[in-house]
Amino acid sequence: MTIPVPASATNDKPNLLFVFTDQQRADSVGGIDGYTQTPNLDRLAARGMRFTKCITPAPVCMPARFSLLSGEYPHALGIARNGPVELLGNAPSWVRDLRDLGYRTAMIGKTHYSPPFGNLAARAAKLHQLGFDDINEVAGPHGSITSSSMMTEWWKTEGVYDDFRTDLLERKADCPWVVRPSPLGFDHYYDRYVGEKAVEYLKGYSDPRPWFCWVGFPGPHEPWDTPEPYASLHDPRLAPAPRPFPADLGTRPQGYLDQRRREVPEIASAHIARMRADYAGSISLIDAQLGAILDAIEARGELDRTAIIFSSDHGEMNGDAGIVYKNVFLDGAVLVPLIVSVPGTGTGDPDVVSDPVELNAVGPTFLDLASGGRTKEFGVATSLLHEPRAPRDIAISRYAGEFMVTDGVRKLVVNADGSPYLLFDHSTDPTEATNRVTDPAMTDTIARLSEALLQRLVETMPRLPSEHVRRLGAQPATPTSFGRRVRRRLRAALGAKAQKRK
């Protein structure tokens, strides 16, 4: 289904709101899981579209965020993981393009375009280069003990910073996934701070130009430290049960998922239930902040001419397959929520789209709205507002030298040697309970998805070092050998299959 560009977008530019969370899995919305209380997200979806197969370009923060803003894949940027790297001010940026189209642009919250060390305000010049006019940047919860921002300086003034820092360090030293409320309390909590600053910004906005506001919530990223009253909002006994580790049908190649499984100690089911309840509470807290932001826009009389997109950088396993955090290609980590709400298109029920799309589509969608339909592409992505929603019928993701490819129904993962080691068929196995990579009936599917992945890599793999990402204290980022190795192995495998068919 197509979302038409509203008529006002061709005459009077719509305001644009981007609400972006950190580490929120796609199924953690009340309208999907029936557990998490998200009345405002449900309200947002009812006036637009919800995409159920939105794939992050990388199931980890910095590569996903660099890719989102620049429109380039992580493998093209030469960034594989979080680390001492930064996105340079000369990188492509659809926010800069929005500013060139006449918007005043704001960033309130987390960006993670540089490592969270030092004074974030001192790096504002780079964010200005990337296109942001007004900036109140914060780090995530862990980064807030290694960096300073207006938020942490306020915490120090309020006398809560030391307790927050001590609590976080104790969690890391004892049990990183312990569940207990943050000593910050609700009034000083980081997601509350970001929500309030966004409301203040919008209430005080007086520029005649249309506005674009990016609200980057640090949550629901762990630690599991949701404050009251949200910590007790969800009953752990009713939390969705974690998915088991996928069962194999035969001996298969190993990959990073197997390593992650070995690294995580066994977590008691009761503890996982508490984690999931706390995680749901964190999302409900953010949902309440979203509600306050929507109310502020409505009070300005602008809700009917404001386009809104909600999404996240990657998910959180929360005990699925016995794993916490992210970094893997199971749905809990690689699928993210995506809601696109355009004025005048709501029917009271969300239009649900199951086509595979990539998170990178957010940028060209905003540009499409801002330009009245004249800008529909940015980097590797195409706007979601018009058919076709994507130039291809697959979505890919990458981490730790591995690649994932999906057509929206079947998902294939190849390891760093280019060998397929995971294959799921969501049409018969929506919870990814069975790994069918050794199933003889899936041979043609593996070949088809491998060929599609190879073609995408051939089209997008860089020949030269990226000039938009810099490794701090080391050599400039360069395309690593894994990409060439994966392409070589895939070509060899596909060639062998072709010979057998002959």
Distance, in Å, from the CA atom of 485 to the CA atom of 446, rounded to the nearest integer, reads 18
Q: Are 444 and 53 in contact (CB under 8 A)?
A: no
Contact 481, 75 (CB under 8 A): no
Residue 86 φ/ψ, nearest 5 degrees: -140, 150
pTM equals 0.92
Q: Give how far Cα 116 sits from Cα of 62, 84, 111, 393, Å.
A: 11, 9, 10, 36
Where on the phi/psi map is residue 75: left (φ > 0), alpha (ψ -120 to 50), or beta?
Answer: alpha
Other CB atoms closer than 10 Å to residue 147's CB: what's the count?
A: 21
CA angle 396, 308, 28 (to 5 degrees): 60
CA distance 124 to 135: 7
Cis peptide before 229 (omega within 30 of 0): yes
Separation CA 492–CA 486 (nearest Å) = 10
Cα–Cα–Cα angle for 11, 16, 20, rounded to 5 degrees: 160
Tell the CATH topology of 11-389. Answer: Alkaline Phosphatase, subunit A (3.40.720)
Contact residues for 19 (Cβ-Cβ < 8 A; gap 6+): 215, 217, 290, 293, 308, 309, 310, 311
- Backbone dihedral angles phi then psi of residue 398, each to the nearest 5 degrees: -150, 140
CA distance 480 to 461: 10
**Residue labelled with tokens 């089209």:** 459
List the one residue out of 253, 262, 318, 230 whose CA is nearest residue 38: 230
Q: Tens-digit pLDDT profile for the chain (502 aa)?
A: 334 444 443 348 999 999 999 999 999 988 788 899 999 999 999 888 999 999 999 999 999 999 999 999 998 888 877 777 888 889 999 999 999 999 999 999 999 988 888 899 888 999 999 999 999 999 999 999 999 999 999 999 999 999 999 999 999 888 888 999 999 999 999 999 999 999 999 999 999 999 999 999 999 999 999 999 999 999 999 999 999 999 999 999 999 999 999 988 888 888 999 999 999 999 999 999 999 999 999 999 999 999 999 999 999 999 999 999 999 999 999 999 999 999 866 556 668 888 999 999 999 999 999 999 899 999 998 999 876 555 568 999 999 889 999 999 999 999 999 999 999 999 999 999 999 999 999 999 999 999 999 999 888 876 555 778 766 655 444 444 445 666 666 666 566 554 443 3
In the three-class reduction of DSSP (H, G, I as helix; E, B as strand; rest coil), residue 438 is classed as coil
Question: What are the helix (H) ranges across 204-263?
Answer: 256-263
